[in-house]
Amino acid sequence: MITPSKDWISPKIEIRKTSGKGKGMFALEKITSGEPLITFGGEYTDAKGAEKARAGGKLIMQWDDN
């Protein structure tokens, strides 16, 4: 599997703050079933690299236990 290097957000949606709920995804146009809306890009790293990225303000996602 190839990991995309950049994030992508469909022009049919926007992410914005909601009152008291954090952030939400809102449709700007009709979206068909199964249509891709967001691709998270990035790279694989170890725990040390993840902590460094988190300290730099990046979103971290863990896919396994190690």
Number of domains composing the chain:
1
Q: What is the pLDDT of residues 6-56, one digit of tens each?
A: 889 999 999 999 988 888 999 999 999 999 999 888 788 888 988 898 898
For residue 22, what pLDDT is reported?
A: 86
Residue 60 domain-assigned (yes or no) = no
Range of the domain at 29: 8-42
Alpha carbons 14 and 23: distance in angstroms, whole number: 10
Helix extents (H) in 21-65: 47-55
How far is it, in rounded angstroms, from Cα 43 to Cα 38? 16
pLDDT at 3 over 70: no
User: Nearest-5° angle of CA 36, CA 20, CA 7?
Assistant: 25
* 66 band by pLDDT with thresholds 50, 70 and 90: low
Give the pLDDT score at 63: 73
Q: Is the pLDDT of residue 5 over 90?
A: no
Look at residue 26 and tell me if it is in a domain. Answer: yes
